[in-house]
Amino acid sequence: MTDGRPLVSIIVLCHNYGRFLREAVDSALAQTYPNCEVLVLDDGSDDSLEVARSYGEAVRVFTHPNMGVERTSNRGVEEARGEYTAFLSADDLFEPTYVEELYDALTAVPEASYAYCRAQMFGADDRVLRAFPFSPYLIALRTNYVNACALTRRADYLAVGGMSDVGEITMEDWDLWLRMLEQGKRGTFVRKPLLRWRRHEAGSRNPDARMRAAVAAMHQRHHELRSKLSGPRARVRYLFDLAVAAADIVFGFSRWPRVVRALERSSWRSFEREYR
């Protein structure tokens, strides 16, 4: 029963996470949104292929020799049949309403290319990661707060060329959002922590020292975008959006979608005036 809503492709990315893969696929198959397909992209890994194929026709399975997250992601989108796509790492989980709530947000903001939410960590950490109403200024001038699992219009993903190989920076998702921004495409925020992000004892690919270097490298990679936002009006708007983000941490007003949409619309219109 599709209820007339467009197909959403959930693309599960797996490299040597066969031990977690069943949990991820089960969470994708358990979505309340009535029209989903699930793809597993096996990036040349351990027993992942055996687990994926055990689902039979419920899951479309693709495999190839290891070629990295960027090219594996792009292949997943190319193979997807849906109008919308969402990546899910094989060691993470979606809450049952993940697709439904992010799709509803995109429906409410038709000019947005993707919808994102907060992430609830589990495993070696249990924090809820901070994320804020979409601000082109914060994501361009400060750092990334949009997770790679955002529900994205497939056509817009393909229009910017998908993920790029950013090498040792290891911030391919931030690079994608910035390239979308440079081509006039934005996101919208859902406050709920609908993504469950597993944290391993070994930690991230980007510990603090590498993180600072990676952020600096990403800023340099998108120097032209940042330079166009260096004027006094842009600086004032950046500080305003930063204050809004800080206030949201304390008061949590982004729980009200209408407030989120109004703030995002105001920031976006300011950005469009600056970035021409």
Reply yes or no on whether the pLDDT at 210 is more than 90.
no
pTM above 0.85, yes or no: yes
36 token code pair:
């989903």
Mean pLDDT of the chain: 94
For residue range 59-100, what is the model confidence (pLDDT) as tens digits? 999 999 999 999 999 999 999 999 999 999 999 999 999 999
Residue-wise pLDDT tens digits, 118-166: 999 998 888 999 999 999 999 999 999 999 999 999 999 999 999 998 8
| Strand 93-94 with 84-89, pairing | unpaired
Q: What is the pLDDT of residue 201?
A: 76
Give the residue among 24, 196, 198, 203 at the shortest CA–CA distance from 120. 196
Nearest CA to 177 out of 193, 166, 190, 192 is that of: 166
Spans of all domains in the chain: 8-274
Q: What is the pLDDT of residue 211?
A: 83
Q: What fold is seen in the domain 8-274?
A: Spore Coat Polysaccharide Biosynthesis Protein SpsA; Chain A (3.90.550)
Helix locations, the chain, DSSP H = 18-29, 48-53, 68-79, 98-108, 136-141, 154-159, 172-182, 208-221, 223-228, 232-251, 257-274
Confidence of residue 246 (pLDDT cuts 50, 70, 90): very high
Cα dihedral: 228, 117, 210, 248 (round 10): 70
